Amino acid sequence: MKDIAITDANFDTEVLKNDKPVLVDFWAVWCGPCQTQGPILEEVAKAMEGKAKIGKLNVDENSEVSQKFGIMSIPTLMIFKGGMVVKQFIGVQSKETLLGELNKLIN
């Protein structure tokens, strides 16, 4: 699975206007816990393929979206559905936690 890079430029299209649930990982290269979360997200993305979208937004390169959502700590994970934030996590989350939340949103 290739990570979907979410940016200030494509956020509306990839996240807000998506008809599937979208999990966005707000992260940075220098963040140790973010590096721990990455492989977990790859597993989640494989398990949710075709049902939900998993993407990563680098907070250092995309300050507009990061500021809009008040990102103060990373990793922050937000799940969007219908253009709205439906769940937010701060810190590293388990595969089971993320799959559980995404599965609740799948019609």
pLDDT in tens, 66-96: 999 999 999 999 999 999 999 999 999 999 9
The pTM of this model reads 0.95
Domains in the chain: boundaries: 4-105
Q: Cite the active site residues.
A: 31, 34
Q: Which CATH number fits domain 4-105: 3.30.950.10, 3.40.30.10, 3.40.50.1580, 3.20.20.70?
A: 3.40.30.10
Q: What's the pLDDT at 88?
A: 97
36-49 tens-digit pLDDT: 999 999 999 999 99
Q: What is the 3-state secondary structure (H, E, C) of the chain?
A: CCCEECCCCCHHHHHHCCCCCEEEEEECCCCHHHHHHHHHHHHHHHHCCCCCEEEEEECCCCHHHHHHCCCCCCCEEEEEECCEEEEEEECCCCHHHHHHHHHHHCC
